[in-house]
Amino acid sequence: MSHEIKKVALLFSGGPAPAANAVISTCAISCINNGIDVVGIKHGYSSLIDYTADKPLVEGKDYISLHEVMLRRTRSKQGILIGTARTNPGKFVNAPEDLKDPEKIAPLKRTYEALCSLGVDALVSIGGDDTLKTANKFKLFQESLPEGSKKIPVVHVPKTIDNDYMGIDFTFGYFTAVETLGTEIRNLHADAEAGRAYFMVESMGRSAGWLAYGAAISGEASMVISVEDVTDEYLSPESTADRKVMDIDKLVAKMVRMMRYRQDKQGKEYGVIVVAEGLAEFLSDDVLKDVPRDDHGHISVAHVDLGKMFAKRVADEFERQTGSKKKVTGLQLGYESRCARPQAFDVMLGSQLGVGAYRALCEENHNGVMVSVSGQLDLHYVPFEKLVDPATLVTVVRFIEKDSDFHKLARFLETSIND
């Protein structure tokens, strides 16, 4: 080994994902087997960001020393061994010039000093695109340190059940989440058929429709609508070049048209409609003005309750058109999938990414790369510069491409109607 790494810190941030422990355990064991100590930082950046010299980190509370015995048979274990949180030390750094502002970089500085206090030589960051942005800011912060300062290289492992990550085909946990939600949708379909009713399922997925589409395909939903489906014909006059606003009435009309087609042409008086939670971002400013946002600026979708909103509008429109009442129940799905027991593929994918994080740091001597796989889990490393805009320091969401084969698959499998 040509590195000088003696201690590695592992940190998980953001929402949980199945197979998180596969990443943590394989990365840790790879290090331990090669004589490198490993500490797991507990609950993301929440302790690091508050560090001061007179308030040292406490083992057991703020971090744990990972060892072989505690990691045995944990790759398929549910939950996250080191916990998680959404604390964001890069919250005030929104442009490269902010890195010169002592007040704006103060949380990053405290994070750096906290890791130094533990004798950490490298950091493995596991999380979503927001955590990737934080990892990049942490790297950039260190580039401005005085000459001779300790440098902590950082590599990032992409995590999200949303699967909306640039630089990797599929993220660990996605398929387990899809299977979990697909099973729920199949159960709801049987319930709907028994009661000649409909369920309006709001699926997690934040910005893109990967999770909603995957769940709808595997759960045999009657229809799925995500942000990728809000084309020009479904936009409100309130839309601008910078902000799309959907025409809810037009989307509701599309749903009711499908329901009537199933009833009149196929004799089916029931079904399940899946809507992606990311559609909430397309609501008008008036609707969203009182909705809280997290440290990364994302709206709290749970406060919007998109499923119930669409359910009421669809039920009202169906009755207006047909003169008959139709029970439409709205509900949110997603939380139950985030810590589901991971399926085999996600365990294999997470394990390879964990090993890849070790290799990136200790065999390849990388700093500022995201671990990725392609083909038959072949490892490769993507520089932060290819994933994060250097001018804005933000990442790009990977949406489902309109008319791609995956997009067409959902359209093919759902109830066919003439638009």
Assigned token pair, 266:
């196929």
7-171+342-386 architecture in CATH?
A: 3-Layer(aba) Sandwich (3.40)
Q: What is the pLDDT of residue 239?
A: 84
The CATH T-level fold of domain 176-339+401-413 is Rossmann fold (3.40.50)
Q: What is the pLDDT of residue 218?
A: 95
Q: Which residues are CB-contacts of 45 (< 8 A; sequence separation ≥ 6)?
A: 11, 13, 85, 87, 88, 89, 111, 134
Assigned token pair, 240:
């601008």
**What does the alpha-carbon distance between residue 415 and residue 262 come to, in Å, rounded to a whole number?**
7
Assigned token pair, 215:
């769940």
Q: Domain map of the chain by residue range?
A: 7-171+342-386, 176-339+401-413
**What does the alpha-carbon distance between residue 207 and residue 128 come to, in Å, rounded to a whole number?**
12
Burial of 391-407, coded b for 16+ CB within 10 Å and e otherwise, reads: eebebeebbbeeeeeeb
Decide if 7-171+342-386 and 176-339+401-413 have a common fold. Answer: yes
Q: What is the pLDDT of residue 320?
A: 97
Q: What is the pLDDT of residue 301?
A: 61
Q: Which residues are CB-contacts of 326 (< 8 A; sequence separation ≥ 6)?
A: 197, 198, 259, 269, 315, 318, 319
Q: What is the pLDDT of residue 77?
A: 96
Displacement of CA 69 from its chain's centroid (Å) = 30
Assigned token pair, 33:
């087997």
**What does the alpha-carbon distance between residue 405 and residue 225 come to, in Å, rounded to a whole number?**
16
Q: Residues in the chain with pLDDT < 70?
A: 1-3, 287-304, 416-419
Q: What is the pLDDT of residue 241?
A: 81
Place of tokens 């769940």: 215
Instruction: Check the CA dihedral 268-272-276-279 and report its sign.
Output: positive
Q: What is the pLDDT of residue 119?
A: 97
